[in-house]
Amino acid sequence: ETGATAAKAARRLEKRDIDVYVGIPFCPTRCAYCSFVSQSVERSFALVPPYVDALCGEISAGGEMVRRAGLRVRTFYMGGGTPTTLTAEQMDRVLTAFETSFDRTACEEITVEAGRPDTITAEKLAVLRTHGVTRVSVNPQTFEENVLRAIGRCHTAADIDRATELVARCGFPHVNMDLIAGLPEDTAEGFRRSLDRCLTYGPDDITVHTLALKKGSRILTEGLRIPGAETVAEMLDYASPTLRTAGYRPYYLYRQKYMSGSFENIGWCRSGGECWYNVDIMSELCSILSFGAAGSTKMVVPGTNQIQRAFNVKYPTEYIQRPEKWQANQTAFAAFYEAL
Ligand code: SF4
């Protein structure tokens, strides 16, 4: 099934189609399983405004480069970190920069990750609606209070309910929700309850991740207790038939290193609920132009699996101070398409 979706994704692509990614490497607090470069805003609040300034500059230059190269943007994805850590005004600035710099005529999908429910407000969602965002991702990971505490989230399950209801009321065409099987302190029953609660919202995409043990994450540095492989298998054995019965089918999957029990992450969706950016990133069929710190730009020779990559600097401070790195990446991106 995931292969069929990748084949469909390949059919919808033309030679000069690209995806655009914007990274917001800030989060309200750090999750116990995270090793990403994301900075907690509690500690790096002052960096956010200059980061947004630098990002808008990069997006604007990228738009000019894409226009000159005659490329067509098919999807736009704002991830992180947690993009909704930005204020409503800052989100408005980033989305306005995208809107004014790129021709969006062929851009079918504009996704914004509103991962942490404690960052979602009616005001921010209104900004997303104004800019034509087609998909919002709310990522509870679990609805179990003890698990939320164990992973370092500063909110309750009731906050997830409130945020998800708020998103539902805004009428976005698509809503994603993510869960993780194997989180510290979770049990097979706890995971079952989380999935059942997720299903009550009827999102058209539910991604079930399996916990990956990442270097530098608090799970490893603090030795947090995690469920064994058998329990994780029990969680996934519940997820698969339950999601199928509810009308979902797997549409993309990927593995990461050091996953609990060597399982995989699977994106499930209802018919027509696919996030094409997710399919493109996994099938590696489409170039991705990434903006922001830690961005990874991918240049794919159309119709082949030949890929060149260009990486942005990792941390926001460096990103703000060294625009020459993203400038060099954009030059490489333009040269890649010129040579095709
Ligand atoms: S929301 Fe994601 S990026 Fe942010 S701390 Fe948690 S796992 Fe890391």
- Cα 286 from Cα 281, distance rounded (Å): 7
Which range among 274-288, 294-308, 321-335 has the greatest average pLDDT?
A: 321-335
Q: DSSP characters for 257-307?
A: TTBGGG--EEEEE-TT---HHHHHHHHT-SEEEEESTT-EEEEE-TTS--E
Whether the Cβ atoms of residue 125 and residue 167 lie closer than 8 Å to each other: yes
Residue 111 binned pLDDT confidence (cut-offs 50, 70, 90)? very high
Supply the pLDDT for residue 231.
Answer: 96
Supply the pLDDT for residue 224.
Answer: 86
For 65, the token pair is 């480069």
Residue 258 binned pLDDT confidence (cut-offs 50, 70, 90)? low
Ligand 1 centre and the CA of 186: distance in Å?
18
Residue 214 binned pLDDT confidence (cut-offs 50, 70, 90)? confident
Nearest CA residue ID for atom 2, ligand 1: 81
Top mutation candidate among 30, 118, 151, 213 for ligand 1, by most atoms within 8 Å of CB: 30
Supply the pLDDT for residue 34.
Answer: 87
Ligand 1 centre and the CA of 16: distance in Å?
33
Which atom of ligand 1 is found nearest the CA of 40?
A: 5
Ligand 1 centre and the CA of 29: distance in Å?
8
Is there a domain that residue 215 lies in? yes
Is there a domain that residue 16 lies in? no
Nearest CA residue ID for atom 7, ligand 1: 34
SS3 (DSSP) at 181: strand
Ligand 1 centre and the CA of 68: distance in Å?
35
In this predicted structure, the answer to whether residue 209 has a pLDDT above a threshold of 90 is yes
Supply the pLDDT for residue 219.
Answer: 85
Supply the pLDDT for residue 254.
Answer: 83
Whether the Cβ atoms of residue 54 and residue 320 lie closer than 8 Å to each other: yes
Top mutation candidate among 26, 27, 217 for ligand 1, by most atoms within 8 Å of CB: 27
Going by C-alpha positions, the residue among 129, 111, 82 that lies closest to residue 279 is: 111
Q: Sort 112 into a burial class: Cβ within 10 Å, 0-12 / 13-18 / 19+.
A: buried
**Ligand 1-lining residues (CB < 6 angstroms):** 27, 30-31, 34, 36, 38, 80-82, 115-116
Edge to edge, the sheet with strand 307-311 lists 249-254, 265-269, 205-210, 174-181, 135-141, 109-113, 72-80, 17-24, 287-291, 296-300, 307-311
Strand 265-269 and strand 205-210: the pairing is: antiparallel
Nearest CA residue ID for atom 8, ligand 1: 34
Is there a domain that residue 251 lies in? yes
Residue 320 binned pLDDT confidence (cut-offs 50, 70, 90)? very high
In this predicted structure, the answer to whether residue 60 has a pLDDT above a threshold of 70 is yes
Number of domains in the chain: 1
More confident residue, 4 or 209: 209
Is there a domain that residue 176 lies in? yes
Characterize 31-40 residue by residue with b for buried, 16 or more Cβ atoms within 10 angstroms of its Cβ, and e for exposed: bbbbbbebbe
Mean pLDDT of 269-295: 93
Is there a domain that residue 19 lies in? no
More confident residue, 134 or 264: 134
Full domain range(s) for residue 200: 2-10+24-338
Ligand 1 centre and the CA of 278: distance in Å?
18
In this predicted structure, the answer to whether residue 302 has a pLDDT above a threshold of 80 is yes
- Cα 7 from Cα 27, distance rounded (Å): 35
Supply the pLDDT for residue 128.
Answer: 98
Q: Report CA torsion sign: 19, 90, 39, 158.
A: negative
Alpha-helical segments (H) within the chain: 2-12, 41-44, 48-69, 88-101, 122-130, 145-150, 157-170, 188-200, 218-221, 229-245, 276-283, 316-321, 323-338
Supply the pLDDT for residue 87.
Answer: 97
SS3 (DSSP) at 37: coil
Mean pLDDT of 283-307: 92
Q: Which CATH number fits the domain that encloses residue 227?
A: 3.30.750.200
Top mutation candidate among 26, 29, 38, 219 for ligand 1, by most atoms within 8 Å of CB: 38
**Omega prior to 81 cis, within 30 of 0:** yes
Is there a domain that residue 144 lies in? yes
Is there a domain that residue 334 lies in? yes
Is there a domain that residue 51 lies in? yes
